[in-house]
Amino acid sequence: MISTTAALKQRLAFRLLGASIGGLILGLGATAFLFPLMDSITSFVVVVGSVAFLASWISGGPRFNYVGIQIAFAFYVVAFEGFSAPTELAPARDRLIGILFAVVVMWFVFDQIWPVRTVTAMRRVLASVLKSAARLFELLGSTEPYDQLQRELEGTRDRVGKNISALRTMSEAVEYEFGVDHEQHVRSSELILQSSVAAAALIWNQVAFLHGERDVDFKTEPALVEMRRRLADHLSRLAEAVERKIPLPAEHLDGFVSQHLLESGHFGEYAKNTIARYEDLQALAIMLARGA
């Protein structure tokens, strides 16, 4: 799978930083100033061990670990020509230039010729979340045995959780979508993330009310069954509109559930929460579908 342009630029930025530190400063510095003065294996081990410790310490961090890996890689490639001590700077210089040239080529190919914009990938993941929500509503209207239904609900909830986690990761990487549309990409990613949270709230509301066998009447109430069927259809349309950026008018939900059911002491809270969560999601998704 081709990486998104934001994730690619993030890695290229870290690779460039790592190559500058490991190759330019440490690699060429050691080759020019330290290796000519070494006359024992002890001094050599101290230098290499210090660089390895620095690289491993940086690579142990949560955000810049890739920089540590690139520091070590660039240092070893630039500083070590073979099994003998280096005697010239030209080979080390050429290898460093090769690393930097590879960074430029990767940026040109995957950002200019064959780009996969991060917000486009995020739209696809959000559409998958909406389709999972629609599938959840369809499952709640099925006649499957309770145990099988619970397994499918758990699977749906697990997929939604992983998709939302992926959206959070991609949203952090959007900051690296440099260019004239940077602000637009950032706004879209924030809106997609908000939509995913709204979809999760809608899904958790269903799970909270329908997780036990004692809540079977919520599954069988005809008015609620019809409400969930219509919401499943609407969620499927929202998913397609978000993924393809198709303008979609807001649906009025007044007729989804009767006023009598909304005022019911037993079903009213569930119905109100479901409608309210869907309205929040619909407002955000429609903004996305219009190209926000």
> pLDDT tens-digit profile of 175-199?
887 766 778 888 889 999 999 999 9
Give the span between the Cα atoms of 45 and 41, in whole angstroms.
6
What's the CA gap between 291 and 242, in Å, rounded?
Answer: 9
Q: What is the pLDDT of residue 1?
A: 45
Of 85, 113, 141, the one marking the end of a domain is 113
99 with 24, same domain: the answer is: yes
Sequence letter at residue 223: A
Give the pLDDT score at 218: 74
**Number of domains the chain contains:** 2
Q: Which helix H or strand E contains 71, and what residues bound it? A: helix 65-79
Output the pLDDT for position 31: 86
Do 105 and 133 have their domain in common?
A: no
- Based on the fold, state whether residues 132 and 72 are members of the same structural domain: no
What b-and-e string marks burial along 199-214, b requiring 16 or more CB atoms within 10 Å of the CB? bbebbebbeebbeeee
Do 131 and 89 belong together in one domain? no
Residues 183 and 148 in one domain: yes
Q: What residues make up the domain containing 51?
A: 5-113
Last residue in a domain, options 113, 134, 163: 113
Residues of the chain above pLDDT 70, percent: 89
Taking Cα atoms as reference points, which of 40, 61, 58 lies closest to residue 50?
A: 58
Is the entire prediction scored with pTM above 0.75?
A: no
Q: What gap in Å lies between CA 151 and CA 111, rounded to an integer?
A: 42
